[in-house]
Amino acid sequence: MRNEWGSLILNDYYFGGEWPAPDFYYMNHICCVHSKWYQIMRDLDKRKHGLDIPFFSIDVSVGLYDDLSDSKIDYVAGQYLDAIEWMEKVTGRKYDDEKLFQAVYNECRSTSLWAEICALNQAKPAPLDEKSMYALYVLGTLNKASKEFADFYEVLRDEVRDRIDSGIAAVSTERFRIMTDSQPPWSVLKIFRYLEEYGVVSIGSLYTFALIGIWDTLPDGTIVPAKTPQEEGITFKSREEAVRFIVRWNLKKLTWEQFYDSRSRAARVVQIARQWSVQGMFMHLNMGCEGTTIGNLESRLALIKEGIPVLTYEGNMADDRQNDDAGTLKRIDIWLKSLGLDKVKT
């Protein structure tokens, strides 16, 4: 957002040229800051460039998926349907429902495929390491409703399957499997490579699996990739039908649970640890994101109760002045050595 705000204020877009003012701002709102970011954009557009850019925000905070009711779906879907009419008004263009249907199919395909890719990481050795996963999930955050990205995830899924069949490991010396928590400190992703020196692979996290991945929960708590409308034989015939489906789909998002209940979050983290055979948690106490850190210390306690050691370290995904690179590496050394691991000689 700092890049966006800076580009707008300086009228110097970071991809080149002048600030390309949008026709409208459109946000869904689960995190406490998201809609505010774009409200500020709108205010800056007005102040700096005299533009009055329309802004629409959708409140999706209706509580845990387990407690979902028709009235809650009505509440969220109603806002999406209103948004469509609003977009027609502000753009003067007619909304194409057929494109909406395709976008919903594609989004479900992308997000279920990403979950499937993450599920494949239960294999030993893990075919993917989390540092690489950060680079791969990002397409889904940018445009998960595009056919190209859904197709990409299909190719990636096949590639990961092939890695498992061929015994290709993300970390060739894998001997200890960890998971992480919250976003990493982006400026020091080298810590993942450092962990590899000990034969440690990070198989993922609630964040990496579920920021875009959509999962179904089986009665015993096991999480599995959600079934797409295509897999369920559903064909959309109306705008309302497609909107209600994508609303229900997104309300399954596991990363939204933590906004409501730290116990659910902790239970998911423990479930991931069990399913992915995790032996330790490397937990970022991330001062740069309230949303993904809320409840993480409760998750820590739940893991310890499960017999899984947890190493915490403070940092900031957005402001690297709050990271302590040397201190974090030192913690890793102490932690792994106390668990009986030494650096692997390769």
Partner 1 sequence: MIAAGIDVGAVATKAVVVKDGRIIGKAIVLTGFEQKASAEKALAGALKDAGINRDDIEYIGATGTGSNTVDFAQKTFEDVTADAAGIILVCPEARTVIDVGGEESRSIFIDGNGNVKDFALNEKCASGTGAFIEAMALALEVGVEDIGELSLAAEKELEINAQCVIFAESEVVSLIHAETPKPDIARAVNEGIAARIVSMVRRSGMEDTVAAVGGVANNRGFIDRLKSRLGRDVVVPEDPEMVGAAGAAKLVIP
Q: At its nearest, how many Å lie between partner 1 and the CB of residue 278?
A: 17
Does the footprint of partner 1 cover residue 298 (CB under 8 A)? no
Reference 41, options 31, 26, 28, 60; nearest CA is 26
The one segment of 81-89, 160-168, 178-186, 324-332 that binds partner 1 by CB under 8 A: 324-332
Residues 6+ apart with CB under 8 A from 61: 29, 30, 256, 259
Q: Sign of dihedral through CA atoms 143, 59, 256, 252?
A: negative
Longest dimension (CA), the chain: 66
Q: Which is nearer to partner 1, 237 or 337 (by Cβ)?
A: 337
Q: Which is nearer to partner 1, 68 or 287 (by Cβ)?
A: 287
Q: At its nearest, how many Å lie between partner 1 and the CB of residue 335?
A: 8
Q: What DSSP letter does each residue of 180-221 carry, written as one string? A: EES---GGGTHHHHHHHTTTEEEEEEHHHHHSS--EEE-TTS
Does the footprint of partner 1 cover residue 306 (CB under 8 A)? no
Q: At its nearest, how many Å lie between partner 1 and the CB of residue 287?
A: 10
The one segment of 33-41, 152-160, 252-260, 323-331 that binds partner 1 by CB under 8 A: 323-331
Does the footprint of partner 1 cover residue 305 (CB under 8 A)? no
The residue from 91, 132, 222, 338 that contacts partner 1 (CB under 8 A) is: 338
The residue from 234, 331, 341, 344 that contacts partner 1 (CB under 8 A) is: 331
The residue from 324, 341, 343, 344 that contacts partner 1 (CB under 8 A) is: 324
How far is Cα 121 from Cα 202, in angstroms, rounded to an integer?
10
Structural tokens at position 66: 């387990």
Angstrom distances, CA of residue 23 to CA of 32, 56, 120, 257: 24, 12, 41, 32
Does the footprint of partner 1 cover residue 230 (CB under 8 A)? no
Q: Sign of dihedral through CA atoms 107, 112, 115, 120?
A: negative
The residue from 309, 318, 341, 343 that contacts partner 1 (CB under 8 A) is: 309
Does the footprint of partner 1 cover residue 329 (CB under 8 A)? no
The residue from 74, 306, 314, 320 that contacts partner 1 (CB under 8 A) is: 314
Reference 23, options 78, 89, 94; nearest CA is 89
Residues 6+ apart with CB under 8 A from 221: 267, 271
Q: Which is nearer to partner 1, 47 or 190 (by Cβ)?
A: 190
Residue 205 identity? S
Which spans of this chain sit near partner 1 (rule: CB under 8 A)? 309, 312-314, 322, 324, 327, 330-331, 333-335, 337-338
